[in-house]
Structure 1
Amino acid sequence: MQKFKIVDLFAGAGSWSVAAHQLGVPLVGVEWPWGACETRRAAGLCTVEDDVRTLGPGEFPEENVLVSRPPAQTMSAAGHGHSRGVLTRVLDFVGRMSRREDISAALVADERTWLALEPLRWALGAIDKNCAYEVIVLAHAASLLPLWEAVAETLAAEGYSVASGLLPAEQYGVPQTRRVSVMIARRDGPAALPAPTHRAYRNGATRKEGDPLLLPWVTMGEALSRPYLFEMISNYGKAGDPGVRGRRSSVQPAPAVTGKSGRNRLVTPDGAELPRLTFREAGQLQTFPTSYPWAGRAVPLQIGNAVPPLLCVHLLAAALDLPARAYTWSSAQRT
């Protein structure tokens, strides 16, 4: 009998599905039927097309692992006063949920905040039905780490072993430098974040620098099949200055892939314009397979909102006590 079965809330284009397939673990995703569901259908992924808020653990009695990357637009603009206020309110809601207070009325007028709390609602609901998830894994942008830490504290009080932190994606073979906030909770055995497999990227450093026991970080040039040197000029500002655009060479990792990755300019070393990233190429930088069948609305957002599948492999492997060091960017492309 299969030991683990996963339910993925806000399943998106299939990051966790790709990772679960590599690890040989069955997964069902829950996703609202628009946009990403067309990609999921094209990829043949197991999907319940419904609103996460209308469902709960009772509809998935065989699934004993919960994973999620919930929508959290109101909290993802790090450093903005509004987002800090939203986060403070969300952390208060986490505390109230841990005491089993009914906060539904307070959340009706704040739908996007409600969505960010859905994984905790499912986790506590399963506990209260005496069918607690054996493993819970949450991931999102770096700015959501305080939320994951609050959720971890709540789950620790419910008997889980928990671990949370920020993971640099390039240290797990992803050819881009994005930081991902993660939380792993386990009922049986100690929770721990996955150990890095690749060296950390540092501006100005070479791939030979760093821990010799780790692999070099993966470059844009390795990830994409363009047979020439190029530079990527970011669509967003650098170091908080919107007028200064970040610039990376193809012998470096890409900057974080966002929902506006198609606006990043690509140029030759002497400045000549090159074709911009295709959907397939943006997906490759996220470590989706080369042949992934992108479809439906807002494909750039589907790609940019995804947790890199290769990072999901390492997270799931650490959470489920499965080997993961053999999985690299190259193996991800063959999934």
Structure 2
Amino acid sequence: MSHVNHAPSSPAIFRIVDLFAGPGGLDVAAEALGHQVTGIEWDDNACRTREAAGMDTFAGDVRDYRAADFPHAQVLTGGPPCQTFTVAGHGAGRRALDDVLEYIGRLHDAVRSKETPWPEVERTWNEISEELRLRAAEADEVKAQKREDEALRSFARRTARKSLAEHGCSPEEIELALKTTEAPRGLARRDADLKNLFDGLVSLEKSLDAHRARLEKLGDERTGLVLQPLWWVIERSRCPGLEPYRAVVLEQVPAVMRVWEEYEKVLDTLDYRTKTQMMHTEAFGVPQTRRRAVLMARLGKIDIPELRETHHRYRPGGVPATSRDADRADTPLWGVDEESVGRRRPKDSWVSMEAALKKARGIALDLGLPDLNLPDRPAFTVVSNYGTGGDPAARGRRDHDAPSSTVTGKVSRNRLVHKGTNTDLPRFELAEAGVLQTFPVAYPWRGSDRSQQIGNAVPPRLALHVLRHVLEPELREEEADARLEQALAKLENWRPPSEPVKVRRREGLKGHPLNGG
């Protein structure tokens, strides 16, 4: 981002509670903007990273806390664990989405009238929570039965394999019999024990199919988790003695957009102005193509406009664009339109992996952190761990001079090869994977499943753009640009504290600043 000669205004400082906070993607962005964040996170590994990064954290299940525990929080943020919501077609995803939308509708009905007593609103939530609890308990029982049947099936298959081999069946015949759960007819007629064995296998397969169907119908606990942010907003808006959040920011995978759209209807009833937007991360300077469904809400009468992209979107095989309208057919020769001069700055090019990693190496040296594993790589190609077009053998490929594909929990499994060859290079280091997510190069990853922590996190740079947009609507464009530039510099040069911040438990609520201490 080029320098902007406008001093940023002194912004208001907000106190934020972040649900499902992960390793701290949103938190480190909020810190760069000067806000104060307290996160709630259940994963022990992510909590260890947050400790080392100095992030104020309450460990545990979000469902064990409530909005009333943090009455002084002014902003609610979060990214509830995503489900495979499938909007088109049938199956578990479609049913899970329908369930969530039905529950949101019930909550909306409960708050449509401001005259509805709080105990009645709370009763609706308690009824939903109890339904979800009973479904989860039943699902646990079905899972236990399924595990027992799977163990019995494994034993029966081993016994059948041994018996068929003793009868002189070839390996091919054995595999076919086990696949079809049908013993060779001649053998089944002659050997009653073998016939009973295969009859038992058929029965077990039917039982397992029934278990799968039941589990699909029951769904999983994430159905309840995706409702938690909405309930926190309702509690703060309608519970006597509490004040509404001044702003709400939620983000998740694209399939959750349908849920956010239903959230909007409830938030509108609660006097919020909202905006949902599908955001392309590379269009905000993240060196990675990734889409996130974002819900932005602000209390009051000020509408939230669409968040303007600062960088061009990536187009495979395309050349990095250098100006806002470089890809339009009606763009003037020099990319300048007299009417737009002085009104809006042009978009920057998307950021490549090579550029991001090179800059990170320079920052590490400037910060005096030469021990970070940031190798000076030759021209490379990333061969994804995932197949494309449904073909596991057709691995996606991205060259060093393009943004990364979506960074997932399997980022450490991606192969790196010399560009134009299949000659292997060392795979990405954790610090490199973090940089591709726009975490500071010095971010202290701790615990196990570190690749998963990185892949599950919201890119801090994207979070920074969204938070600034929602929390500082009064800034003029020049001031907003200067504010972003200042915060981005803080984000890139961020360093962890010299001492870790101990994670709190629920019993540590008393005396906490957001609790009234």
The two structures have a TM-score, normalised by structure 2, of: 0.62
Task: Give the equivalent residue in structure 1 for 2:491.
Answer: 332
Per-residue CA deviation, residues 70-93 of structure 1 (Å, 9 max, x unaligned), is 112443899883222211211111
- Which of 261, 264, 274 matches 2:414? 264
Does the aligned pair in 1 maintain the 2:382–2:417 contact within 8 Å?
A: yes
Q: Which residue of 1 aligns with 2:246?
A: 134
Which deviations, in whole Å up to 9, do the C-alpha atoms of 1:164-208 show, x marking residues without a partner? 021000000000000000000111321234211101111111113
CA distance in 1, matches of 2:426, 2:89: 33
Runs of 4+ in 1 over 4 A off after TM superposition: 76-80, 327-331
Correspondent of 2:231 among 121, 143, 152: 121
Q: Residues 230 and 312 of structure 1: is their aligned pair in 2 closer, same or farther, counting only changes over 3 Å?
A: same
Distance 1:178 1:271 in 2: 26
- Aligned partners of 2:84 and 2:255 also within 8 Å: no
Higher normalized helix content (fraction of residues): 2
In the aligned structure 2, how far is the partner of 1:23 from the partner of 1:57? Answer: 24
Larger mean CA deviation between 230-239 and 213-222 belongs to 230-239
Which residue of structure 1 aligns with residue 370 of structure 2? none
Residue type matched to 1:224 in 2? L
Residues 184-239 of structure 1 show CA distances to partners (whole Å, capped at 9, x for unaligned) of 01113212342111011111111136625101100010122434210001111223
Counterpart of 2:338 in structure 1 is none
- Distance verdict in 2 for CA 1:239–1:166, change over 3 Å: farther
Q: Which runs of 5+ in 2 are unaligned?
A: 1-10, 111-123, 137-219, 326-345, 359-375, 495-517
Indicate the residue corresponding to 2:101 in structure 1.
91
Contact 1:78/1:143 (CA < 8 Å) preserved in 2?
no
- Length, aligned pairs only: 335
Tell me how far apart the structure 1 counterparts of residues 409 and 88 of structure 2 sit (CA, whole Å).
16
Greater strand content: 1
Residues 75 and 279 (structure 1), Cα distance of their counterparts in 2 relative to 1, 3 Å cut? farther
Amino acid in the other structure paired with 1:103: I
- Per chain length, whose mean CA-contact separation is higher, i.e. which structure has more relative contact order (CA < 8 Å, sep 6+)? 2
Q: Is the 8 A contact 2:357 2:432 kept in 1?
A: yes
CA contact (8 A) 1:90 1:113 kept: yes
Unpaired segments ≥5 residues, structure 1? none
Cα distance in structure 1, aligned partners of 2:275 and 2:92:
28
Aligned with 1:313 (options 441, 464, 485) = 464
Q: 2:275 aligns with which of 151, 156, 163?
A: 163
The percent identity for this pair of structures is 41
Aligned residue type for 1:31: E
Give distance in 1, aligned partners of 2:44 and 2:245.
28
Gap change, CA 1:331 and 1:199, over 3 Å in 2: farther
Q: Kindly state the Cα deviation for residue 95 of structure 1 after the two structures are TM-superposed.
A: 0.9
Larger Rg: 2
When the two chains are superposed, the root-mean-square deviation of aligned CA atoms in Å is: 2.1
Q: Closer, same or farther in 2 for the Cα pair 1:331/1:5, shift >3 Å?
A: closer
SS at structure 2 position matched to 1:99? helix
Secondary structure of 1:254's aligned partner: coil
Q: What's the CA shift for 1:301?
A: 1.2
Kept in 1, the 8 Å contact 2:440–2:492? The answer is yes
Of the three residues 41, 65, 71, the one matched with 1:61 is 71
Q: Could you tell me which residue of structure 2 aligns to residue 173 of structure 1?
A: 285
Conserved? CA contact 1:199–1:214, under 8 Å: yes
Contact map agreement 1:71 1:115 (CA 8 A) in 2: yes
Query: How do 1:1-335 and structure 2 match up within 5 A?
Result: 3-32=13-42, 34-75=44-85, 81-100=91-110, 101=124, 102-108=127-133, 109=136, 110-129=220-239, 130-188=242-300, 189-208=302-321, 211-212=324-325, 213-225=346-358, 226-269=376-419, 270-321=421-472, 323=480, 324-326=483-485, 332-335=491-494
CA contact (8 A) 1:266 1:274 kept: yes
